[in-house]
Structure 1
Amino acid sequence: MSDPAHDGTPLLKVEGLSAGYGGMPVLHEISIEVNKAEMVALVGGNGAGKTTLLRALSRLLPCTGSIALAGRELRTLTPDQVFGLGLVQVPEGRQLFGRMTVQDNLLMGGYRRGDKAALSRDLDRMYALFPRLGERRRQLAGSMSGGEQQMCAMARALMAAPVLMMVDEMSLGLAPVVVDQLMEVLAQIRRDGVTVLLVEQDVQIALSGADRGYVIETGRVVLSGSAKDLVDDPAVQQAYLGM
């Protein structure tokens, strides 16, 4: 397999993807690209189809079209096979194992990895990246605040050693100061080489840290470009930024 970092091929290339539920179409011919070590924002209002797209990419939902990760077609693979290739999702609502400790949640993220020494090093790295989790490593995940649970969900995904991490509605219900901290973490892991697809209803937050963005409305990509160009676009300002 060629290395998308060196041959110009996008790490993730989605072409003509359509999907829905029970015969009801939700996504219509979606095409997006994410390059290696990029942070790309997928933004749009509630019900636009953002989470449906992530479910299709993770192979939790049937779809038509093409999904290629590092040049490999994913559409015929199972969710477990896709996870094994490094496409990892931080789901909306965190979906932690609430009656397990923080540390056990993180170890669950790396359950497929055989190198115990590397797993131990990454556990230490997570506690350095999220000091609050280090302080609460023996605490039950379900007893933490929303912000701490979001940190735990992100750290659990990172423990899977993702090639591409998809983050769904990270800011939902969190205080702005916590969201700022989480955006700083995303910037750090991007610098470390992890590619990020950030799916957000809060357009301002998503575009503040992204390289590029896509705007999705009623299951269709209606705008795309650099994050700066989208923030400056009058249509985006009027529809999403209250300007």
Structure 2
Amino acid sequence: MSRDTTQEPLLLVEKLSAGYGEMLAITDIDLRIYRAEIVALIGSNGAGKSTLLRALSRVLPCTGRIVLNGRELSAATSDQVFALGMVQVPEGRQLFGRMSVHDNLLMGAYRRSDKSAIAQDLERIYEMFPRLAERRRQMAGSMSGGEQQLCALARALMASPILIMVDEMSLGLAPIIVEQLMDILVGIRRNGVTVFLVEQDIHLALSIADRGYVMETGRIVQSGPARELVDDPKVRHAYLGT
């Protein structure tokens, strides 16, 4: 999908730096994400990808500029960012294991007050994720890894996001489950929700993305259309081994 980059980006990030203590893990990050596109952030383990998501979510202190849908977020709290519609599906899923699937999904809507819309969205989620509908009364922690990832993604959608950030969704899952999850992300984008996909599996991420950013040692070193990155000799040598 081609992007009209003359429009205002949904997410604008300029000169963003963040770290732990005095050590910076990411430095001078610039990126733009436009409405209803899938953008992949690729890079090896330890490149700083998850740190970037934590900074964007305002869980981690940072310097620089973050603008979501025209709103400056640099001084915002994580709750304020969530309320404005930027929602993260964290690495490792982080479900409430001793709560039912149904209650986990409702936790995604905890900041919403529109009860009738929440009920409608819940039914829509169960239609989108029939496996979760079958297991709605089951404890989330007793499900398989793939089912838990479905639940984590569905819980994020219950927050009614405008931008959903997905961190290492494929980790430890069977290829057939990963393929299903990627199809769901494409469907989410088709419904108007923007997706920022952070993924170690380079080929997987770029196969569904419109554009991509390559991160190495805390910096963005390359960006462009996903198809161009897949065909780029440097990217293929560094991440695909070809």
Superposition TM-score tier, normalisation by shorter sequence: over 0.9
Instruction: Give the share of equivalent positions with the same residue, in percent.
Output: 69
Output aligned runs, 1:117-156, within 5 Å.
117-156=116-155
Paired with 1:139 and 1:152, the residues of 2 have a C-alpha distance of: 11
Please list the CA deviations of residues 87-120 of structure 1 after superposition, one character each: whole Å capped at 9, or x if unmatched.
1000000000000000000001011111111111
- Taking the TM superposition and a 5 Å limit, the aligned residue runs for 1:10-21 are 10-21=9-20
Structure 2 residue aligned with 1:64: 63
Match of 1:164 in 2: 163
Structure 2 counterpart of 1:239, one-letter code:
A
Distance 2:167 2:94 in 1: 11
Query: Which residue of the partner structure matches residue 227 of structure 1?
Result: 226
Gaps of 5+ in 2: none
Secondary structure at the aligned position of 2:132 is classed as: helix
TM-score by length of 1: 0.97
Q: CA RMSD in A?
A: 1.2
1:43-82 paired onto structure 2 within 5 Å: 43-82=42-81
Residue 89 of structure 2: aligned partner:
90
Using structure 2 for the length normalisation, give the TM-score: 0.97
- Secondary structure at the residue paired with 2:9? coil
The match for 2:192 is 193
Q: Aligned letter for 1:14?
A: V
Cα 1:177–1:108 change in 2 (3 A) is same
CA distance in 2, matches of 1:6, 1:232: 22
The structure-2 alpha-carbon separation of the partners of 1:138 and 1:190, relative to structure 1 and needing over 3 Å to count, comes to: same
Aligned match of 1:236:
235
Once the two structures are TM-superposed, the CA of residue 6 in structure 1 deviates from its matched residue by 11
Q: Which amino acid aligns with 2:46?
A: G
Any idea what SS the aligned residue of 2:161 has? Answer: coil
Structure 1 runs of 4+ with >4 Å offset: none
Unaligned runs of 5+ in 1: none
CA distance 1:6–1:215, change in 2 (3 Å)? closer
Residue type of the partner of 1:25? L
